[in-house]
């Protein structure tokens, strides 16, 4: 007997195509693993069993008829709960959308299902993606599979935890300021934030429209490359005006190696205040490992990187205030009963439908966009964004990719950080990539010496050079092969294939 969590996405798809096991058997193995592991993790808000089994049976019928199967046939997939999927609820982790039924399927989800994935579940998240720990979800927190007393990161914590616990093979998350890379780091999995525009955001509930990007989680770099091939699809999505055509095969140069390529070590972030000693040690170990594989290490400077958090926490709340204004307690979403007027209904519905962090960000956005304040803050933040983007352009003239931490520290305990500003600092190493719009990936690089918890390194590349990022990520993976996979407490627990 073999547990399906021992298999990569490529191995599952090959096994289904060869008839070693059926897609339905994989679906049931994933559902069995969820039943066994989910009580400890709470990665999901809804298990979409019938959708998964229906897709599995379609694939099995296609194979029986001699048809060629798609590249991810039979691979179990979790979807962050801010992405619409017909037949499921899309709650965004909020009371405001507790009973909201998806009216259509997001392009990113549809492309993964078309590629053969089995939509197994909707993953827990910080409310409307406002958070770095998945503690702000109205439906309860998600635990880190490496230590259930610790957070999985956020806001895509459910997606990262589900992959790390071996409940699914792939998961989709969204990243506005680090919400894929930081939980990937905490949970010891691979997480890619593609270049802004590489993946369609149609059907994804918006937080910050100029910052949001959808990306995949996997336990292997190859799995993430396969997912990217599905996500970029046949070309740009006409339903998303920011969507761009990315006509590349993300598997094509995965094993090319890094000999002769340049890696810029971002000392400002490696040595920044708040970055733990064990994180620094892992970043420098990764730099040496890449150098041993033939890469050249170069020093680069990002002189405006310290402005990223300030710029982000102006731009993000302003865009969130605009995007969440639609949840007015009248058209859809939570509606407070017994109100005499529409104004009262809207006021009370929003007061009770949103949690504390969602209110905080919207109120901050409303203030920053108000008369007399806009010029002092929002306009300045956009100027800072231009400077940050120029800093990256200058850095990429010297280096092919940049190397830095994914997170300043390993996963912290529940309730350990209660100050919102301290929580915001969790995104120190990731926000600048969203500000500039370039691609970034978090890759596991071992366990911390002091905590024994997963530590990752982050690689950042120029816009629309995400395939190159994956080549470097694979080089890191080779250097630290087997350091992080399914969390030991959950490996092989349920989910066996014959």
Strands 170-175 and 44-47: unpaired
**Could you tell me which of 92, 88, 78, 81 has the C-alpha nearest to residue 9?**
78
Q: Which member of 3, 22, 80, 440 is catalytic? A: 80
Query: Cβ distance 52 to 76 under 8 Å?
Result: yes
What is the arrangement of strands in the sheet containing 190-193, beginning at the earlier edge strand? Answer: 44-47, 118-123, 76-80, 170-175, 213-218, 190-193, 440-447, 454-460, 401-405, 262-266, 296-300
User: Is residue 179 flagged as an active site residue?
Assistant: yes
Residue with tokens 């007027």: 341
- With 0-12 / 13-18 / 19 or more C-beta atoms within 10 angstroms meaning exposed / middle / buried, residue 459 is buried
User: Is residue 322 flagged as an active site residue?
Assistant: no
Q: Which member of 3, 22, 156, 179 is catalytic? A: 179
DSSP track, 253-312: TTTS--TT-EEEEEHHHHTSTT--HHHHHHHHHHHHHHHHTTPEEEEE--TTGGGHHHHH
Longest alpha-carbon distance in the chain? 71
CA angle 271, 276, 280 (to 5 degrees): 55
What is the Cα–Cα distance from 160 to 190, expressed in whole angstroms?
Answer: 9
The dihedral built from the CA positions of residue 104, 107, 109 and 114, taken in this order, carries a sign that is: positive
Q: Which member of 88, 94, 155, 243 is catalytic? A: 155
Query: Cβ distance 315 to 437 under 8 Å?
Result: no
What is the Cα–Cα distance from 78 to 217, expressed in whole angstroms?
Answer: 10
Query: Cβ distance 129 to 228 under 8 Å?
Result: no
Structure tokens at 157: 């914590």
User: Is residue 80 flagged as an active site residue?
Assistant: yes
Structure tokens at 411: 């996963």
**Could you tell me which of 458, 459, 429 has the C-alpha nearest to residue 177?**
429
What is the Cα–Cα distance from 145 to 70, expressed in whole angstroms?
Answer: 31
**Which positions are catalytic?**
80, 155, 179
């Amino acid at each position: 007997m073999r547990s399906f969590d021992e298999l990569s996405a490529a191995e599952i798809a090959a096994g289904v195509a060869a008839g070693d096991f059926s897609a339905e058997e994989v679906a049931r193995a994933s559902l069995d693993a969820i039943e066994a592991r989910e009580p400890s993790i709470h990665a999901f808000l809804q298990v979409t069993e019938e959708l998964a089994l229906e897709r599995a049976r379609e694939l099995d019928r296609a194979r029986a008829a001699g048809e060629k199967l798609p590249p991810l046939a039979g691979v179990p997939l979790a979807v962050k709960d801010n992405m619409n999927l017909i037949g499921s609820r899309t709650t965004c982790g909020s009371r405001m959308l507790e009973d909201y039924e998806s009216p259509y399927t997001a392009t990113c989800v549809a492309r993964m299902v078309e590629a053969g994935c089995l939509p197994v579940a909707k993953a827990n998240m910080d409310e409307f993606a406002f958070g770095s720990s998945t503690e702000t979800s109205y439906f309860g927190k998600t635990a880190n599979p490496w230590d259930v007393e610790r957070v999985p990161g956020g806001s895509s914590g459910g997606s990262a935890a589900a992959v790390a616990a071996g409940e699914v093979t792939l998961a989709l998350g969204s990243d506005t300021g680090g919400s894929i890379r930081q939980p990937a780091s905490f949970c010891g999995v691979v997480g890619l934030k593609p270049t802004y525009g590489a993946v369609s955001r149609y059907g994804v509930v918006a937080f910050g429209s100029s910052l949001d990007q959808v990306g995949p989680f996997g336990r292997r770099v190859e799995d993430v490359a396969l997912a990217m091939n599905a996500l970029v699809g046949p070309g740009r999505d006409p339903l998303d005006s920011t969507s761009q055509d990315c006509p590349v095969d993300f598997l094509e140069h995965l094993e090319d190696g890094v000999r002769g390529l340049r890696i810029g070590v971002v000392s400002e972030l490696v040595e920044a205040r708040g970055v733990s000693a064990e994180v620094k040690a892992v970043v420098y170990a990764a730099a040496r490992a890449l150098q041993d594989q033939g890469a050249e290490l170069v020093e680069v400077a990002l002189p405006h990187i310290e402005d990223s958090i300030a710029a982000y926490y102006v731009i993000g709340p302003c865009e969130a205030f605009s995007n969440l204004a639609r949840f007015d307690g009248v058209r859809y979403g939570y509606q407070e009963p017994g109100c005499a007027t529409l104004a009262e209904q809207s006021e009370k519905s929003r007061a009770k439908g949103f949690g504390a962090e969602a209110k905080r960000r919207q109120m901050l956005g409303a203030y920053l966009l108000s008369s007399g304040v806009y010029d002092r803050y929002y306009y300045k933040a956009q100027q800072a964004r231009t400077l940050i983007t120029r800093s990256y352009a200058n850095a990429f003239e010297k280096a092919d990719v940049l190397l830095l931490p994914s997170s300043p520290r390993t996963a912290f305990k529940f309730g350990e950080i209660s100050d919102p500003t301290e929580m915001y600092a969790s995104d120190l190493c990731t926000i600048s990539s969203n500000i500039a719009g370039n691609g970034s990936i978090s890759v596991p690089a071992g366990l911390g010496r002091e905590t024994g918890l997963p530590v990752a390194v982050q690689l950042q590349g120029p816009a629309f050079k995400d395939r190159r990022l994956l080549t470097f990520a694979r080089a890191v993976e080779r250097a630290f092969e087997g350091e992080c996979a399914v969390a030991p407490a959950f490996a092989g627990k349920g989910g066996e294939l014959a």
